[in-house]
Amino acid sequence: MKLTLEKFESEILRTIGANDWDGIKSFVYSKDRSAIASLARLVIDLANSGDETATDIVLTAAEYLVDLVHQIELITGKRDLPVVFGGGISEAGELLIDALSRGIGRKVTISELRMANRAAELAR
């Protein structure tokens, strides 16, 4: 599946129920973070089906995460520590995980533990 940018945009607009920039703003400003974050699932699904625009978005996100790991290594002075990602990244699929491992230069572990759920359990 190779969607054009216009088709990618129309899929996002359809999903959020918008037709134009005003509709996008309305969605962003009226929804909570989880509703906005749920769009990541759509982008990941589109990337996994071969959509080039979605793939570019996923790979760009991986670059930012790799940069974050490198910054933490510089700040702490510790390199080659295990890298574990959790949360929604656990559902991102091989495209993102492979890009993270390549960018960081070592195996990345993906935790399927839901951090927020675990924090709530501990708070009880």
Q: What is the set of domains in the chain, with CATH numbers?
A: 5-123 (3.30.420.40)
Q: At what angle do helices 52-76 and 94-104 cross, to 10 degrees?
A: 40
Mean per-residue pLDDT for 51-73?
94
pLDDT digits (tens, 9 = 90+) for 19-43: 988 998 999 999 998 888 888 888 9
pTM, whole model, 2 decimals? Answer: 0.77
Residues near 122 by beta carbon (within 8 Å), at least 6 away in sequence: none
Beta bridge partners of 83: 108
